[in-house]
Chain A
Protein backbone atom coordinates (compact mmCIF):
# COMPACT_ATOMS: atom_id res chain seq x y z
CA UNK A 1 0.00 0.00 0.00
CA UNK A 2 1.27 3.43 -0.89
CA UNK A 3 1.51 5.99 1.92
CA UNK A 4 2.57 9.61 1.51
CA UNK A 5 3.87 11.98 4.14
CA UNK A 6 6.36 14.77 4.65
CA UNK A 7 9.61 13.88 6.37
CA UNK A 8 11.87 16.73 7.42
CA UNK A 9 10.21 18.97 4.86
CA UNK A 10 10.45 16.51 1.98
CA UNK A 11 7.48 14.72 0.44
CA UNK A 12 7.93 10.96 0.46
CA UNK A 13 5.78 8.08 -0.69
CA UNK A 14 6.36 4.57 0.62
CA UNK A 15 4.98 1.28 -0.52
CA UNK A 16 4.85 -0.64 2.74
CA UNK A 17 2.69 -2.49 5.23
CA UNK A 18 0.44 0.21 6.76
CA UNK A 19 0.69 -1.55 10.12
CA UNK A 20 4.49 -1.43 10.11
CA UNK A 21 5.73 0.98 12.78
CA UNK A 22 6.87 4.34 11.44
CA UNK A 23 10.26 3.66 13.07
CA UNK A 24 11.17 1.03 10.50
CA UNK A 25 10.02 3.13 7.56
CA UNK A 26 12.34 5.90 8.76
CA UNK A 27 15.30 3.68 9.59
CA UNK A 28 15.15 1.13 6.80
CA UNK A 29 13.16 2.59 3.89
CA UNK A 30 14.45 6.15 4.23
CA UNK A 31 17.81 5.30 5.89
CA UNK A 32 17.21 7.99 8.52
CA UNK A 33 19.02 5.99 11.18
CA UNK A 34 19.27 8.78 13.76
CA UNK A 35 15.93 7.60 15.17
CA UNK A 36 16.69 4.60 17.35
CA UNK A 37 15.11 1.28 18.18
CA UNK A 38 15.18 0.60 21.91
CA UNK A 39 12.25 -1.44 23.18
CA UNK A 40 9.53 -1.73 20.54
CA UNK A 41 6.86 -1.04 23.19
CA UNK A 42 6.97 2.74 23.72
CA UNK A 43 8.72 2.17 27.05
CA UNK A 44 12.09 3.85 26.45
CA UNK A 45 11.60 6.84 24.14
CA UNK A 46 14.65 6.17 21.94
CA UNK A 47 12.43 6.27 18.83
CA UNK A 48 10.74 9.62 19.57
CA UNK A 49 9.90 11.75 16.50
CA UNK A 50 7.46 14.61 15.94
CA UNK A 51 4.18 13.95 14.15
CA UNK A 52 2.68 17.31 13.20
CA UNK A 53 4.80 18.78 16.00
CA UNK A 54 3.72 16.32 18.69
CA UNK A 55 6.22 13.85 20.16
CA UNK A 56 5.30 10.24 19.37
CA UNK A 57 7.02 6.90 19.89
CA UNK A 58 7.60 5.80 16.33
CA UNK A 59 7.98 2.13 17.37
CA UNK A 60 4.30 2.11 18.29
CA UNK A 61 2.99 4.44 15.56
CA UNK A 62 1.67 2.49 12.58
CA UNK A 63 2.81 3.90 9.27
CA UNK A 64 -0.79 4.57 8.25
CA UNK A 65 -1.15 6.98 11.20
CA UNK A 66 1.56 9.10 9.59
CA UNK A 67 -0.20 9.33 6.22
CA UNK A 68 -0.53 12.93 5.15
CA UNK A 69 1.30 14.12 8.26
CA UNK A 70 4.49 16.08 8.79
CA UNK A 71 7.24 14.03 10.41
CA UNK A 72 10.32 15.59 11.95
CA UNK A 73 13.26 13.44 13.00
CA UNK A 74 16.58 14.17 14.68
CA UNK A 75 18.06 14.74 11.23
CA UNK A 76 15.62 17.61 10.59
CA UNK A 77 14.86 19.09 13.99
CA UNK A 78 17.82 21.50 13.83
CA UNK A 79 15.85 23.52 11.28
CA UNK A 80 13.43 24.66 13.99
CA UNK A 81 14.35 27.38 16.55
CA UNK A 82 13.75 25.01 19.47
CA UNK A 83 15.74 22.27 17.77
CA UNK A 84 18.64 24.58 17.11
CA UNK A 85 18.66 25.84 20.70
CA UNK A 86 18.38 22.33 22.13
CA UNK A 87 21.14 20.86 19.97
CA UNK A 88 23.38 23.81 20.79
CA UNK A 89 22.72 23.35 24.52
CA UNK A 90 23.37 19.60 24.25
CA UNK A 91 26.76 20.34 22.69
CA UNK A 92 27.60 23.07 25.19
CA UNK A 93 26.79 20.86 28.21
CA UNK A 94 28.32 17.91 26.29
CA UNK A 95 25.41 15.69 27.31
CA UNK A 96 25.96 12.34 25.52
CA UNK A 97 27.84 9.34 26.77
CA UNK A 98 27.09 6.33 24.58
CA UNK A 99 24.65 8.62 22.78
CA UNK A 100 22.14 6.00 21.72
CA UNK A 101 19.15 7.52 23.55
CA UNK A 102 20.04 11.12 22.79
CA UNK A 103 18.07 11.51 19.55
CA UNK A 104 14.93 10.58 21.45
CA UNK A 105 15.87 12.77 24.40
CA UNK A 106 16.42 15.74 22.09
CA UNK A 107 13.11 15.18 20.28
CA UNK A 108 11.24 15.02 23.60
CA UNK A 109 13.05 18.13 24.86
CA UNK A 110 12.24 20.07 21.68
CA UNK A 111 8.57 19.17 21.97
CA UNK A 112 8.57 20.28 25.61
CA UNK A 113 10.14 23.65 24.77
CA UNK A 114 7.86 24.19 21.80
CA UNK A 115 4.90 24.06 24.19
CA UNK A 116 6.47 25.57 27.27
CA UNK A 117 9.12 28.22 26.87
CA UNK A 118 10.30 28.11 30.47
CA UNK A 119 9.79 24.61 31.85
CA UNK A 120 10.20 23.96 35.57
CA UNK A 121 12.02 20.90 36.88
CA UNK A 122 8.61 19.30 37.40
CA UNK A 123 7.71 20.03 33.76
CA UNK A 124 10.98 18.39 32.72
CA UNK A 125 10.25 15.34 34.88
CA UNK A 126 6.83 15.10 33.25
CA UNK A 127 8.01 15.47 29.68
CA UNK A 128 11.26 13.50 29.91
CA UNK A 129 10.52 10.52 32.16
CA UNK A 130 9.45 8.44 29.18
CA UNK A 131 12.99 8.61 27.81
CA UNK A 132 15.39 6.11 29.35
CA UNK A 133 19.14 6.76 29.47
CA UNK A 134 21.20 3.84 30.74
CA UNK A 135 24.37 5.94 30.86
CA UNK A 136 22.70 8.20 33.42
CA UNK A 137 22.90 11.59 31.68
CA UNK A 138 19.64 12.84 33.20
CA UNK A 139 21.20 15.73 35.13
CA UNK A 140 23.02 16.93 32.03
CA UNK A 141 19.79 16.65 30.01
CA UNK A 142 17.98 18.75 32.61
CA UNK A 143 20.73 21.37 32.56
CA UNK A 144 20.71 21.47 28.76
CA UNK A 145 16.93 21.97 28.63
CA UNK A 146 17.20 24.93 31.02
CA UNK A 147 20.06 26.28 28.91
CA UNK A 148 18.07 25.95 25.69
CA UNK A 149 15.11 27.61 27.37
CA UNK A 150 17.29 30.59 28.31
CA UNK A 151 18.60 30.80 24.73
CA UNK A 152 15.07 30.76 23.32
CA UNK A 153 13.99 33.45 25.80
CA UNK A 154 16.74 35.67 24.41
CA UNK A 155 15.28 35.17 20.95
CA UNK A 156 17.31 32.13 19.93
Chain B
Protein backbone atom coordinates (compact mmCIF):
# COMPACT_ATOMS: atom_id res chain seq x y z
CA UNK B 1 0.00 0.00 0.00
CA UNK B 2 2.92 2.31 0.51
CA UNK B 3 4.92 3.56 -2.35
CA UNK B 4 7.69 6.04 -2.08
CA UNK B 5 7.48 8.20 -5.13
CA UNK B 6 3.86 9.21 -5.26
CA UNK B 7 3.28 12.81 -6.19
CA UNK B 8 1.87 14.85 -3.32
CA UNK B 9 -1.88 14.90 -3.03
CA UNK B 10 -2.04 18.65 -3.27
CA UNK B 11 -0.81 20.62 -6.21
CA UNK B 12 0.28 23.28 -3.74
CA UNK B 13 3.58 22.72 -2.03
CA UNK B 14 3.02 24.76 1.03
CA UNK B 15 0.55 24.25 3.82
CA UNK B 16 -2.91 25.57 3.56
CA UNK B 17 -5.54 26.63 6.00
CA UNK B 18 -7.54 24.03 7.83
CA UNK B 19 -11.12 23.33 6.92
CA UNK B 20 -13.50 25.24 9.18
CA UNK B 21 -14.98 22.02 10.54
CA UNK B 22 -11.50 20.79 11.44
CA UNK B 23 -10.64 24.05 13.14
CA UNK B 24 -13.83 23.90 15.17
CA UNK B 25 -13.09 20.32 16.20
CA UNK B 26 -9.50 21.21 17.08
CA UNK B 27 -10.49 24.23 19.12
CA UNK B 28 -12.88 22.17 21.19
CA UNK B 29 -10.35 19.41 21.97
CA UNK B 30 -9.10 21.11 25.11
CA UNK B 31 -12.62 21.94 26.28
CA UNK B 32 -13.96 18.45 25.69
CA UNK B 33 -11.10 16.74 27.45
CA UNK B 34 -11.15 19.07 30.47
CA UNK B 35 -14.80 19.88 30.90
CA UNK B 36 -14.83 21.03 34.52
CA UNK B 37 -11.91 23.35 34.03
CA UNK B 38 -13.45 24.80 30.88
CA UNK B 39 -16.77 25.28 32.66
CA UNK B 40 -15.18 27.10 35.59
CA UNK B 41 -13.17 29.44 33.44
CA UNK B 42 -16.18 30.16 31.23
CA UNK B 43 -18.15 30.96 34.37
CA UNK B 44 -16.36 34.28 34.92
CA UNK B 45 -17.26 35.44 31.44
CA UNK B 46 -20.80 34.14 31.88
CA UNK B 47 -21.32 36.10 35.10
CA UNK B 48 -20.02 39.31 33.55
CA UNK B 49 -22.14 39.00 30.42
CA UNK B 50 -25.20 37.95 32.43
CA UNK B 51 -24.86 41.02 34.65
CA UNK B 52 -24.60 43.33 31.67
CA UNK B 53 -27.50 41.74 29.80
CA UNK B 54 -29.68 41.70 32.91
CA UNK B 55 -29.00 45.33 33.80
CA UNK B 56 -29.57 46.59 30.27
CA UNK B 57 -32.58 44.33 29.81
CA UNK B 58 -34.24 45.32 33.09
CA UNK B 59 -33.77 49.04 32.60
CA UNK B 60 -34.87 48.83 29.00
CA UNK B 61 -37.95 46.84 29.95
CA UNK B 62 -38.87 49.34 32.66
CA UNK B 63 -38.17 52.26 30.37
CA UNK B 64 -40.14 50.79 27.51
CA UNK B 65 -43.05 50.16 29.86
CA UNK B 66 -43.01 53.79 30.92
CA UNK B 67 -42.62 55.05 27.38
CA UNK B 68 -45.43 52.80 26.19
CA UNK B 69 -47.65 54.30 28.86
CA UNK B 70 -46.69 57.79 27.75
CA UNK B 71 -47.37 56.84 24.14
CA UNK B 72 -50.78 55.49 25.04
CA UNK B 73 -51.71 58.54 27.10
CA UNK B 74 -50.39 61.08 24.68
CA UNK B 75 -48.10 64.01 25.31
CA UNK B 76 -50.67 66.75 24.93
CA UNK B 77 -51.32 67.38 28.60
CA UNK B 78 -49.86 70.38 30.40
CA UNK B 79 -50.19 71.22 34.06
CA UNK B 80 -50.32 74.69 35.48
CA UNK B 81 -49.77 74.94 39.20
CA UNK B 82 -49.36 77.61 41.77
CA UNK B 83 -45.74 78.43 42.31
CA UNK B 84 -44.30 80.37 45.19
CA UNK B 85 -44.31 84.03 46.02
CA UNK B 86 -41.03 85.85 46.34
CA UNK B 87 -41.27 85.24 50.08
CA UNK B 88 -41.48 81.48 49.65
CA UNK B 89 -45.19 81.24 50.50
CA UNK B 90 -47.44 79.19 48.22
CA UNK B 91 -48.94 81.54 45.66
CA UNK B 92 -52.59 81.40 44.70
CA UNK B 93 -54.03 81.02 41.25
CA UNK B 94 -56.99 83.30 40.58
CA UNK B 95 -60.34 81.52 40.68
CA UNK B 96 -61.09 82.59 37.13
CA UNK B 97 -57.82 81.12 35.81
CA UNK B 98 -59.35 77.88 34.44
CA UNK B 99 -61.90 79.82 32.45
CA UNK B 100 -59.25 82.11 30.97
CA UNK B 101 -56.97 79.24 30.06
CA UNK B 102 -59.89 77.53 28.34
CA UNK B 103 -59.96 80.39 25.86
CA UNK B 104 -56.40 79.95 24.62
CA UNK B 105 -56.38 78.81 21.01
CA UNK B 106 -55.55 75.11 20.77
CA UNK B 107 -56.74 74.18 24.26
CA UNK B 108 -59.40 71.47 24.11
CA UNK B 109 -60.17 70.86 27.76
CA UNK B 110 -59.34 72.31 31.16
CA UNK B 111 -59.79 70.72 34.55
CA UNK B 112 -58.65 72.01 37.88
CA UNK B 113 -58.09 70.92 41.44
CA UNK B 114 -57.68 73.09 44.46
CA UNK B 115 -55.87 71.96 47.56
CA UNK B 116 -57.96 72.53 50.68
CA UNK B 117 -55.51 73.79 53.29
CA UNK B 118 -55.28 72.64 56.90
CA UNK B 119 -57.67 69.73 56.55
CA UNK B 120 -56.80 66.20 57.63
CA UNK B 121 -58.55 62.98 56.82
CA UNK B 122 -58.91 59.78 58.86
CA UNK B 123 -60.63 56.41 58.56
CA UNK B 124 -62.64 57.17 61.69
CA UNK B 125 -62.73 59.66 64.62
CA UNK B 126 -60.90 57.03 66.72
CA UNK B 127 -57.64 57.46 64.80
CA UNK B 128 -55.15 59.69 66.67
CA UNK B 129 -55.05 63.08 65.02
CA UNK B 130 -51.32 62.93 64.40
CA UNK B 131 -51.77 59.97 62.01
CA UNK B 132 -52.50 62.15 59.03
CA UNK B 133 -50.96 59.67 56.54
CA UNK B 134 -49.62 62.67 54.64
CA UNK B 135 -52.82 62.86 52.65
CA UNK B 136 -54.23 66.01 51.14
CA UNK B 137 -57.78 66.99 50.42
CA UNK B 138 -58.41 68.48 47.01
CA UNK B 139 -61.46 70.04 45.52
CA UNK B 140 -61.85 68.90 41.93
CA UNK B 141 -63.73 69.76 38.79
CA UNK B 142 -65.95 66.96 37.53
CA UNK B 143 -64.23 66.11 34.24
CA UNK B 144 -60.86 65.49 35.85
CA UNK B 145 -60.71 61.75 35.27
CA UNK B 146 -60.90 61.62 31.53
CA UNK B 147 -58.60 64.58 31.16
CA UNK B 148 -55.71 63.16 33.08
CA UNK B 149 -56.36 59.67 31.71
CA UNK B 150 -57.10 58.22 35.09
CA UNK B 151 -59.71 55.56 35.68
CA UNK B 152 -61.86 54.37 38.55
CA UNK B 153 -60.91 51.20 40.30
CA UNK B 154 -64.24 50.99 42.10
CA UNK B 155 -67.47 52.92 42.56
CA UNK B 156 -68.28 56.16 40.79
CA UNK B 157 -66.74 59.58 40.42
CA UNK B 158 -68.32 62.77 41.67
CA UNK B 159 -71.19 64.20 39.67
CA UNK B 160 -73.03 67.48 39.76
CA UNK B 161 -75.19 66.24 42.66
CA UNK B 162 -72.54 64.60 44.83
CA UNK B 163 -70.17 67.53 44.27
CA UNK B 164 -72.40 69.52 46.59
CA UNK B 165 -72.65 66.87 49.27
CA UNK B 166 -70.10 65.50 51.73
CA UNK B 167 -68.96 62.82 49.30
CA UNK B 168 -65.33 61.94 48.50
CA UNK B 169 -63.39 59.90 45.94
CA UNK B 170 -60.08 58.41 47.06
CA UNK B 171 -56.81 58.40 45.17
CA UNK B 172 -55.17 54.99 44.85
CA UNK B 173 -52.57 55.54 47.57
CA UNK B 174 -54.94 57.49 49.77
CA UNK B 175 -57.33 54.51 49.78
CA UNK B 176 -54.49 52.22 50.72
CA UNK B 177 -53.34 54.43 53.58
CA UNK B 178 -56.87 54.84 54.91
CA UNK B 179 -57.30 51.09 54.83
CA UNK B 180 -60.18 51.09 52.38
CA UNK B 181 -59.99 48.53 49.62
CA UNK B 182 -63.56 48.40 48.42
CA UNK B 183 -66.50 50.71 48.26
CA UNK B 184 -69.85 49.82 49.77
CA UNK B 185 -72.89 51.86 50.36
CA UNK B 186 -72.39 53.74 53.62
CA UNK B 187 -68.58 53.57 53.63
CA UNK B 188 -67.37 56.87 55.05
CA UNK B 189 -64.27 58.67 56.22
CA UNK B 190 -63.68 61.22 58.97
CA UNK B 191 -62.79 64.48 57.24
CA UNK B 192 -62.33 67.70 59.19
CA UNK B 193 -64.50 66.48 62.06
CA UNK B 194 -67.38 65.33 59.92
CA UNK B 195 -68.32 62.22 57.94
CA UNK B 196 -67.81 62.15 54.19
CA UNK B 197 -69.21 59.22 52.20
CA UNK B 198 -66.84 57.38 49.86
CA UNK B 199 -68.16 57.18 46.30
CA UNK B 200 -65.20 55.56 44.55
CA UNK B 201 -61.53 54.68 44.47
CA UNK B 202 -59.20 55.67 41.64
CA UNK B 203 -56.47 53.77 39.89
CA UNK B 204 -52.97 55.19 39.98
CA UNK B 205 -52.71 58.33 37.89
CA UNK B 206 -49.70 58.30 35.60
CA UNK B 207 -49.69 62.00 34.79
CA UNK B 208 -51.00 63.43 38.01
CA UNK B 209 -49.31 61.58 40.82
CA UNK B 210 -50.51 64.25 43.27
CA UNK B 211 -54.01 62.79 42.82
CA UNK B 212 -52.85 59.40 44.18
CA UNK B 213 -52.35 60.75 47.70
CA UNK B 214 -55.44 62.92 47.62
CA UNK B 215 -59.00 62.69 48.78
CA UNK B 216 -61.16 64.41 46.17
CA UNK B 217 -64.31 66.34 46.92
CA UNK B 218 -66.43 68.67 44.81
CA UNK B 219 -65.68 72.42 44.75
CA UNK B 220 -69.13 73.35 46.17
CA UNK B 221 -68.82 70.75 48.93
CA UNK B 222 -65.33 72.00 49.84
CA UNK B 223 -66.63 75.51 50.09
CA UNK B 224 -69.69 74.48 52.06
CA UNK B 225 -68.23 71.98 54.50
CA UNK B 226 -64.49 72.74 54.60
CA UNK B 227 -64.36 76.51 54.31
CA UNK B 228 -62.40 76.38 51.06
CA UNK B 229 -61.84 79.68 49.25
CA UNK B 230 -62.17 78.20 45.75
CA UNK B 231 -58.70 79.06 44.44
CA UNK B 232 -57.44 76.29 42.16
CA UNK B 233 -53.93 75.02 42.81
CA UNK B 234 -53.44 72.86 39.71
CA UNK B 235 -54.96 73.27 36.27
CA UNK B 236 -54.78 70.33 33.87
CA UNK B 237 -54.80 71.60 30.29
CA UNK B 238 -55.38 69.41 27.32
CA UNK B 239 -54.37 70.75 23.91
CA UNK B 240 -54.55 69.70 20.31
CA UNK B 241 -51.58 67.41 19.93
CA UNK B 242 -49.70 69.62 17.47
CA UNK B 243 -50.38 72.80 19.48
CA UNK B 244 -48.90 71.71 22.81
CA UNK B 245 -45.64 73.55 22.29
CA UNK B 246 -47.32 76.76 21.24
CA UNK B 247 -49.80 76.71 24.11
CA UNK B 248 -47.24 76.07 26.83
CA UNK B 249 -45.57 79.55 26.87
CA UNK B 250 -48.96 81.28 27.02
CA UNK B 251 -50.23 79.47 30.07
CA UNK B 252 -48.46 81.34 32.85
CA UNK B 253 -49.68 84.70 31.69
CA UNK B 254 -53.21 83.45 31.12
CA UNK B 255 -53.47 81.75 34.49
CA UNK B 256 -52.17 84.67 36.53
CA UNK B 257 -51.94 87.84 34.43
CA UNK B 258 -50.92 89.87 37.47
CA UNK B 259 -47.91 87.80 38.36
CA UNK B 260 -46.98 85.13 35.78
CA UNK B 261 -43.73 84.37 37.61
CA UNK B 262 -45.71 82.77 40.43
CA UNK B 263 -47.05 80.11 38.08
CA UNK B 264 -45.22 76.94 37.18
CA UNK B 265 -46.08 75.12 33.97
CA UNK B 266 -44.92 71.61 33.18
CA UNK B 267 -45.54 68.78 30.78
CA UNK B 268 -46.00 65.53 32.74
CA UNK B 269 -44.98 63.30 29.81
CA UNK B 270 -41.67 65.14 29.63
CA UNK B 271 -41.08 64.58 33.32
CA UNK B 272 -41.77 60.88 32.87
CA UNK B 273 -39.41 60.63 29.93
CA UNK B 274 -36.76 62.30 32.00
CA UNK B 275 -37.42 59.84 34.79
CA UNK B 276 -36.96 56.93 32.38
CA UNK B 277 -33.66 58.37 31.26
CA UNK B 278 -32.56 58.93 34.85
CA UNK B 279 -33.21 55.27 35.61
CA UNK B 280 -30.85 54.24 32.81
CA UNK B 281 -28.17 56.55 34.13
CA UNK B 282 -28.14 54.64 37.43
CA UNK B 283 -27.28 51.48 35.52
CA UNK B 284 -23.76 52.72 34.91
CA UNK B 285 -22.72 51.36 38.27
CA UNK B 286 -24.01 47.87 37.59
CA UNK B 287 -22.58 47.87 34.09
CA UNK B 288 -19.24 48.75 35.64
CA UNK B 289 -19.54 45.78 37.98
CA UNK B 290 -20.34 43.55 34.99
CA UNK B 291 -17.27 44.89 33.21
CA UNK B 292 -15.11 44.03 36.22
CA UNK B 293 -16.52 40.49 36.21
CA UNK B 294 -15.68 40.27 32.50
CA UNK B 295 -12.13 41.43 33.15
CA UNK B 296 -11.66 38.84 35.87
CA UNK B 297 -13.17 36.24 33.54
CA UNK B 298 -10.73 37.24 30.82
CA UNK B 299 -7.80 36.78 33.18
CA UNK B 300 -9.20 33.38 34.09
CA UNK B 301 -9.37 32.36 30.44
CA UNK B 302 -5.84 33.60 29.78
CA UNK B 303 -4.59 31.70 32.83
CA UNK B 304 -6.25 28.48 31.72
CA UNK B 305 -4.87 28.83 28.23
CA UNK B 306 -1.32 29.37 29.50
CA UNK B 307 -1.58 26.23 31.60
CA UNK B 308 -3.15 24.34 28.73
CA UNK B 309 -0.29 25.25 26.39
CA UNK B 310 2.26 24.02 28.93
CA UNK B 311 0.40 20.78 29.51
CA UNK B 312 -0.07 20.07 25.85
CA UNK B 313 3.50 20.51 24.70
CA UNK B 314 3.68 16.98 23.36
CA UNK B 315 0.43 17.47 21.48
CA UNK B 316 1.84 20.66 19.97
CA UNK B 317 5.06 18.87 19.03
CA UNK B 318 3.16 15.99 17.51
CA UNK B 319 0.99 18.33 15.47
CA UNK B 320 4.08 20.09 14.16
CA UNK B 321 5.54 16.70 13.24
CA UNK B 322 2.30 15.84 11.47
CA UNK B 323 2.73 18.96 9.37
CA UNK B 324 1.06 21.77 11.32
CA UNK B 325 2.52 25.20 10.64
CA UNK B 326 3.02 27.73 13.42
CA UNK B 327 -0.07 29.42 12.09
CA UNK B 328 -2.11 26.23 12.51
CA UNK B 329 -1.01 25.94 16.14
CA UNK B 330 -1.69 29.61 16.78
CA UNK B 331 -5.16 29.35 15.25
CA UNK B 332 -5.95 26.24 17.27
CA UNK B 333 -5.21 27.82 20.64
CA UNK B 334 -6.62 31.21 19.72
CA UNK B 335 -9.88 29.70 18.57
CA UNK B 336 -9.98 27.52 21.67
CA UNK B 337 -9.83 30.64 23.85
CA UNK B 338 -12.46 32.37 21.72
CA UNK B 339 -14.70 29.31 21.81
CA UNK B 340 -14.30 29.05 25.58
CA UNK B 341 -15.33 32.62 26.25
CA UNK B 342 -17.98 32.50 23.53
CA UNK B 343 -19.61 29.61 25.39
CA UNK B 344 -19.35 31.67 28.58
CA UNK B 345 -20.87 34.65 26.79
CA UNK B 346 -23.74 32.61 25.37
CA UNK B 347 -24.53 31.16 28.78
CA UNK B 348 -24.32 34.67 30.23
CA UNK B 349 -26.77 36.03 27.66
CA UNK B 350 -29.17 33.15 28.34
CA UNK B 351 -28.99 33.62 32.12
CA UNK B 352 -29.28 37.41 31.88
CA UNK B 353 -32.25 37.17 29.52
CA UNK B 354 -33.92 34.59 31.75
CA UNK B 355 -33.46 36.90 34.75
CA UNK B 356 -35.02 39.81 32.88
CA UNK B 357 -37.86 37.66 31.57
CA UNK B 358 -38.76 36.25 34.98
CA UNK B 359 -38.59 39.67 36.63
CA UNK B 360 -40.75 41.37 34.03
CA UNK B 361 -43.12 38.38 34.07
CA UNK B 362 -43.63 38.84 37.80
CA UNK B 363 -44.12 42.58 37.37
CA UNK B 364 -46.40 42.07 34.37
CA UNK B 365 -44.21 44.19 32.12
CA UNK B 366 -43.07 43.42 28.61
CA UNK B 367 -39.64 41.83 28.31
CA UNK B 368 -37.18 43.84 26.28
CA UNK B 369 -33.66 42.48 25.69
CA UNK B 370 -31.97 45.27 23.75
CA UNK B 371 -29.93 44.12 20.77
CA UNK B 372 -26.89 46.00 22.01
CA UNK B 373 -27.08 44.00 25.23
CA UNK B 374 -27.06 40.47 23.86
CA UNK B 375 -25.09 41.16 20.70
CA UNK B 376 -22.70 43.32 22.70
CA UNK B 377 -22.34 40.58 25.31
CA UNK B 378 -21.50 37.98 22.66
CA UNK B 379 -19.15 40.35 20.87
CA UNK B 380 -17.43 41.29 24.13
CA UNK B 381 -16.95 37.60 24.89
CA UNK B 382 -15.37 36.99 21.48
CA UNK B 383 -13.05 39.97 21.80
CA UNK B 384 -12.09 38.99 25.35
CA UNK B 385 -11.39 35.43 24.25
CA UNK B 386 -9.22 36.66 21.41
CA UNK B 387 -7.24 38.99 23.66
CA UNK B 388 -6.92 36.46 26.47
CA UNK B 389 -5.93 33.70 24.06
CA UNK B 390 -3.45 35.70 22.01
CA UNK B 391 -0.43 35.46 24.29
CA UNK B 392 -0.82 31.72 25.07
CA UNK B 393 -1.44 31.01 21.37
CA UNK B 394 1.70 32.89 20.37
CA UNK B 395 3.67 30.96 22.97
CA UNK B 396 2.31 27.67 21.66
CA UNK B 397 3.22 28.61 18.09
CA UNK B 398 6.72 29.71 19.08
CA UNK B 399 7.46 26.41 20.74
CA UNK B 400 10.04 24.44 18.79
CA UNK B 401 8.73 21.02 17.78
CA UNK B 402 11.89 19.26 18.88
CA UNK B 403 11.72 20.76 22.36
CA UNK B 404 8.03 20.06 22.58
CA UNK B 405 8.49 16.41 21.67
CA UNK B 406 11.76 15.41 23.28
CA UNK B 407 11.99 17.41 26.47
CA UNK B 408 9.38 15.42 28.36
Please determine whether chains A and B interact with each other in the same assembly.
no
